Amino acid sequence: MINKLKHYSIKEKNNSEKWVLIDAEGETLGRLASKIAMILMGKNKPAYIPNDITGDFVILINSSKIKVTGKKYSDKEYITHTTRPGSTKVRTFANLIEKKPEYIITKAVKGMLPKNKLSAKMLKRLKIYSGNNHPHQAQLENKSKEVKSDN
């Protein structure tokens, strides 16, 4: 007698995707990046599925006002390299926070997402703006929630 096991998978697409607005002013980089990664993966929902995107969209404003602890503001380095010889670029946190604060947060969140094909799709749901203005007001009106920090 063969025991038939039933496979159970929550695959209901009831369009429960929300838009989450997060203000990064005064937030610590790593703690904020882990919050964003959890929301993008959907681990904050009871219907979390590891092999599917169940997370929400995240709008991050004031990314240029993020803070880091210790000496990271002057000592932290971001190294990029192409396959060409001599193409190594070393940029500091202090330099990047003025020019490209979106890059810093994107890199931190990307490192906390799973290393699979879904991570690129999850990262596309993250919208980062250095100022207070964003063009996603229409998405926030009907189906949104705002995350306040616990500081």
- Asked whether the beta carbons of 102 and 59 are under 8 A apart, the reply is no
The DSSP symbol for 116 reads S
Q: Whose CA is closest to 75, among 51, 94, 56?
A: 94
The token pair that represents 125 in the structure block: 């749901």
Report the chain's mean pLDDT, rounded to a whole number: 89
Query: CA 59, 89, 124: angle at the middle one, nearest 5?
Result: 20
pLDDT of residue 8: 65
For 77-111, what is each residue's pLDDT tens digit?
A: 999 999 999 999 999 999 999 999 999 999 999 99
List of domains in the chain:
19-68+100-147 (3.90.1180.10)
Average pLDDT over residues 3-30: 79
Give 67-92 as a 3 state SS string.
Answer: ECCCCHHHHCEEEECCCCCCCCEEEE
pLDDT of residue 114: 95
pLDDT over 90 percentage in the chain: 71
Cβ neighbours of residue 63 under 8 Å, at least 6 residues apart?
24, 101, 102, 104, 105, 128, 129, 130
Q: How far apart are CA 42 and CA 90, in angstroms?
A: 34
For 19-28, what is each residue's pLDDT tens digit?
A: 999 999 999 9
Distances from the Cα of 143 to the Cαs of 24, 94, 151, in angstroms? 21, 36, 26
9 pLDDT exceeds 90?
no
The residue count of the chain comes to 151
- Global pTM? 0.84
- Asked whether the beta carbons of 133 and 110 are under 8 A apart, the reply is no
pLDDT of residue 143: 57
7 pLDDT exceeds 90?
no
